[in-house]
Amino acid sequence: MVFELTGVRSGCDVTGTPAEAAFSDRLVKGATVCVECQPSAMKRQLGTRCRGHGVARKQTRWKAVTIPGCRGRWVMKSRQEDCHCDVQSPTSFILV
């Protein structure tokens, strides 16, 4: 799925490890990110989809599990079945 970040809380501004800082630097309002739902994160009770996958063209919430207090809002711009985010891309994320 492709999301546009519509809101990012100040808790995402971290200066921790280089990896954390590089991750948080990408979380800015207006950024477009690729988000992948891994099979291990799919929930059968949700119709075999990931929790928090969002709703097309509606603002929903997200939370970065690796940075405490980092959360915001986003809008799903597109959804594609069997798509995969580029693991080398700095704007690829995984739903858990």
State residue 11's pLDDT score.
86
The per-residue pLDDT for range 31-86, each reduced to its tens digit, is 988 887 776 666 666 566 666 556 678 888 888 877 888 899 999 888 766 666 77
State residue 13's pLDDT score.
85
Mean pLDDT of the region 8-28: 82
pTM: 0.75
Is the Cβ–Cβ distance between 83 and 25 less than 8 Å? no
The domain limits of the chain are 2-95
- In sequence order, the 6+-apart residues with CB closer than 8 A to the CB of 56 are 76, 79
State residue 87's pLDDT score.
66
